[in-house]
Structure 1
Amino acid sequence: MTDTDFTERKAQASQWFSDLRDRIVAAFEDLEDRGPGGAAPGRFEVTPTTRTGPAGEDHGGGKMSVMRGGRVFEKVGVNISTVWGELAPRAQKAMAARGVPGMEQDPRFWASGISLVAHMQNPHTPAVHMNTRMFWTPNAWWFGGGADLNPCIEYPEDTAHFHAQMQGACDAHDAEYYPRFKAWADEYFFVPHRGRARGVGGIFYDDLNTGDWEADFAFTRSVGAAFLLAFIPVTERRLGTPASEADRDTQLIHRGLYAEYNLVYDRGTKFGLETGHNADAVLMSLPPLAKWP
């Protein structure tokens, strides 16, 4: 499996993540236009991100798109990146421990993906996370990602809708995917030191390589495409729900749980910081305000 063999496939994956980013940004700005209140609708600020090698050489980058203080979103980030180079020794060791073939001898890698986290103005509207990515090394490739809902005040019908869309994306490819990836999300997004889940789950998968790149890429596209179908209706349903000070307090405390998880356990946060990616982009997932009891 050479770099040349995967040049076109890398380009396809990178372009898909970029196109998905554009669709999501447009949908979120449309939500802002329709949101409650007389304030001006929020808009994304886009900042290029770069990754440089030890000698200052180009190792890729992407776009950090962040909206703050909108009608609907208190803070939302939609980031894309395509980076390459050599893994630092710690990351290389972690990959080798995961069983990535050849990683101990050859630390080269290429990675592309989209990462999204939304923290909402209304406590009745759930926060959400989504990411999908492709990873390549000279001896392996795989896809990963998923989406999970993080309400501070849960509505069972919202949870059911979100999971139904994730299940639909999975079932179109393999009937075993949804139960498998739902269970993986329940395990992955658990906060051990709090003894509870981060939210109401969704799906999570990693190291997906069935041997059929086209099929695995198609599944990853389905997950990305299902995100707006899962999240937009839930958001629209709660936009006008009145919120009390107690609701806001519940929201801020739940955000503290979210921050704890992302800083202590999240694999993507660790990988991004260890591979020298833009720290602001990596930590985009953190909420704008949070509190602890």
Structure 2
Amino acid sequence: MNHLIQASVKVDKDSILQTFKNIQDDICQKIELLDGSARFHEDQWDRPGGGGGRARVIENGQVFEKGGVNFSHVYGALPETMSAGLNLPSGHEFLATGVSIIMHPVNPYVPIIHMNVRYFEMSNGDKWFGGGIDLTPIYIDEQQADYFHRSIKHLCDQHDSNYYPTFKEWADRYFYIKHRQETRGIGGIFFDRLRVDENTTIEKLFDFVKDVGDSFVPIYSQLVEENQHKTYGEAEKEWQYVRRSRYAEFNLIYDRGTKFGLDTNGRIESIFMSLPPQAKWLYNYQVQPGSMEARTLSLLKKDVDWIKE
């Protein structure tokens, strides 16, 4: 793809920044084609402490009720809360950049999807990559879950056979809504603080992170195409709103990206871009035994092996 860096090009913060911008451009273009009617609106923003970003939001489309593809590049003094979390004395500088994506479809049968890739660099020389991709179906289709996880595993195996089992387990534990005792969806992969060591180089790590970014549209397009024309009624929409409320709860209570954005005085509209346009918190909501909704709830567990032989 046009945003891939050739092996001969040095991997540094400038090349990472440009690649992330290109990933954002590429995904936005393809999401617009996938939707067929809506277009992204861009807001460029500046952070008072240093840096800024490009927030791009798509709304009221044929396929996507709301979605965002955000690029950010922020830097400056490391906040005290983050210094404490990293067990560092105050006074350090940081740089963080990444692309974050969330899509909330119109049709309840099209799953919510989230993806992000990011890079963090400290003034003490420490640097690492993070990211992941995960799926939140409103109605779990086990065959489609198999496809999603099989695709992610294939991506990981091209880089390291340990990546998928390690990062899949990490996702199961990270995307867990403790107060509900259920996972946010069917997971995927989640990784953080991938550093250079004796077994890998920054080029290899960056190649993996780029491939995660490149995987988003090809994987998601198939799920959209398989589900976007399925018929639904008020009951399915209400269930979608209930499941969206769980998504919002996770993002507001547990999500590291939300906390990072708030701790670093990021742009509030960009931070909360991930929230759905509509959701419902119905008192003591109960699903009907034997229903598709009950089936989905029964599968929102950790450590499910979604790949079937």
Structure-2-length-normalised TM-score? 0.85
1:152 is aligned with what amino acid?
I
1:45 is aligned, of 30, 41, 49, to 41
Cα deviation code 1:125-174 (max 9, x no counterpart): 00000000000002300000000000111111221111122112110110
Match of 1:210 in 2: 196
Residue type at the aligned position of 1:67: I
1:235 aligned onto 2:227: no
SS of aligned partner of 1:90: helix
Q: Which structure 2 segments of 5+ residues have no match? A: 1-9, 283-309
Match of 1:150 among 124, 128, 136: 136
Give 1:194 shift. 0.1
Q: 1:56: which partner in 2?
A: none
- SS class of match (1:112): strand
How do residues 154-165 of structure 1 correspond to structure 2 at under 5 angstroms? 154-165=140-151
Q: Give the Cα separation in 2 of the matches to 1:49 and 1:131.
A: 19
Matches within 5 A, 1:56-71: 59-71=50-62
Alignment match, 1:226? 215
Query: 1:267 & 1:81 partners in 2: Cα distance?
Result: 15
- 2:80·2:90 contact (CA, 8 Å) conserved in 1? no
Per-residue CA deviation, residues 56-89 of structure 1 (Å, 9 max, x unaligned), is xxx1111000011111000000000111101221
Q: Tell me, yes or no, if structure 1 residue 196 matches structure 2 residue 166.
A: no
Letter in 2 for 1:110: L
1:14 has 2:10 as partner: no
1:265 aligns with 2:254: yes
Flag as ranges the 4+ runs of structure 1 deviating above 6 A.
none
Paired letter, 1:136: E
Contiguous gaps of at least 5 residues in structure 1: 1-6, 34-40, 54-58, 97-102
**For the residues of structure 2 that align with 1:127 and 1:228, how far apart are their CA atoms?**
13
Q: Determine helix, strand or coil for the equivalent of 2:118.
A: strand
Q: Which residue among 62, 71, 74 is the counterpart of 1:80?
A: 71
2:123 aligns with 138
Query: Which stretch shows the higher mean deviation, 74-83 or 162-171?
Result: 162-171
Aligned length: 269
Distance across 1 between alignment mates of 2:152 and 2:19: 19
Deviation at 1:106, TM superposition (A): 3.7
State whether residues 83 and 90 of structure 2, in contact with CA within 8 Å, keep that contact through their aligned partners in structure 1: no
CA contact (8 A) 2:11 2:203 kept: no
State the match for 1:99 in structure 2. Answer: none
Contact 1:106–1:138 (CA under 8 A) maintained in structure 2: no
Classify the secondary structure of the residue corresponding to 2:231.
Answer: coil
* Partner residue, 1:91: 82
1:95: how far off? 2.3
Q: Provide the aligned C-alpha RMSD in A.
A: 1.2
Structure 1 residue 105: Cα displacement: 4.7
Partner SS, residue 216 of structure 1? helix
Percent identical across equivalent pairs?
Answer: 41
Tell me the alpha carbon deviations over residues 158-215 of structure 1, each in whole angstroms, 9 at most, x when there is no partner.
2111112211211011000000000000000000000000001000000101332111
Q: Which amino acid aligns with 2:15?
A: Q
Contact 1:76 1:119 in 2 (8 A): yes
1:132 aligned counterpart, secondary structure: strand
Is the contact made by 1:165 and 1:229 (CA closer than 8 Å) also made in structure 2?
Answer: no
Matches within 5 A, 1:169-180: 169-180=155-166
Taking the aligned partners of 2:236 and 2:11, their CA distance within structure 1 comes to: 49
Contact 1:129 1:149 in 2 (8 A): yes
